[in-house]
Amino acid sequence: MSTADRLVITDDLRRQAKEAGVTVEQLLGLEGISGITEEEVKWQYVRGKPLIKPDEVKFLPTRMYDLHTWYMQKTANTNEESLMVKVKKRYYFHKKDVWIHYSELLQLFNQDALDKSIVSCYCL
């Protein structure tokens, strides 16, 4: 008896498959999911790896290119996982330190959902 013969398809599995837009078999990995190209797969954060696809780095605006270069050097030479931005008193009426995790830079470079800390820095 194969694994597929022993599976029980529950209403919860049907709901999950419907929400994902796939069949129950695809959800369970019994069938492949066609139509997804490599370009459609979201770029993932991996510490020390480029924040965008390597062939796109040369097209970055100057300041983003500089930030990307800094990030690549920093992750190659330290174990730090974030950077601290010191916000001046005139912006928050008191001095404040904002921590930005390097994974949030990936969101910035890929125009993805941004964390509040990085949006705060951008607005300042």
Contact 121, 86 (CB under 8 A): no
Total number of domains constituting the chain: 2
- Tell me what pLDDT residue 76 has: 94
Residue 30 sits in the same domain as residue 81: no
Name residue, tokens 């419907």: 18
Residue 76 sits in the same domain as residue 17: no
Structure tokens, 18: 């419907």
Exposure b/e, 31-51, CB count within 10 A at least 16 = b: eeeeeeeeeeeeeeeeeeebb
Residue 65 sits in the same domain as residue 117: yes
Q: Is the pTM of this model over 0.95?
A: no
Whether pLDDT at 1 is above 50: no
Q: Would you call 104 exposed, middle or buried from its count of C-beta atoms within 10 A (0-12, 13-18, 19+)?
A: buried
Residue 46, in any domain of the structure: no
Residue 32 sits in the same domain as residue 68: no
Residue 48, in any domain of the structure: no
Q: For residue range 28-65, what is the model confidence (pLDDT) as tens digits?
A: 888 877 766 666 667 888 899 999 988 999 999 999 99
Range of the domain at 16: 3-37
Dump the DSSP string for 25-45: HHHTTSS--TT--GGGSPPPP
- Tell me what pLDDT residue 91 has: 77
Residue 67 sits in the same domain as residue 118: yes
